[in-house]
Amino acid sequence: MADAGLAVAKTWTTVRDGDVRECHAAMEGIGTDVRGMFDVEGILVPYPAHWSLPAKQRVRCRCSFYTDVVDLHEPEPAYPEAEYQDAGPEPLF
């Protein structure tokens, strides 16, 4: 894929509610190469709730990650994804 100017990336995501751990909320939208690691308070893990995290970071973790194909020839977006989240449907009235 790299020969075609494409790469696979993964991005950390949370359920975005009041129960998300602070350090996991800080990971929201952080991306890396698909084979890369996420840095959770100094611990490198390949995905959320990985067994190498201490129990306080792993137990009942509801985070996940998604993968995406990235065009290496396109510039980075002007704003991070978290800056322009969908605000929901338009009001009817």
Q: Look at residues 30, 24, 26 and name the one whose alpha carbon lies nearest to residue 11.
A: 30
Q: What is the pLDDT of residue 4?
A: 74
Q: Can you point out the beta strands (E) in the chain?
A: 6-13, 31-33, 38-40, 43-45, 64-71
Task: For 32-71, write each residue's pLDDT tens digit.
Answer: 999 999 999 999 999 999 999 999 999 999 999 999 998 8
What is the sign, positive or negative, of the torsion defined by CA atoms of 34, 1, 82, 32? Answer: positive
Mean pLDDT (the chain, rounded): 84
Q: Give CA–CA dist 30/45, Å, rounded.
A: 13
Q: What is the pLDDT of residue 71?
A: 86
Specify whether the CB–CB gap between 44 and 37 falls below 8 A: yes
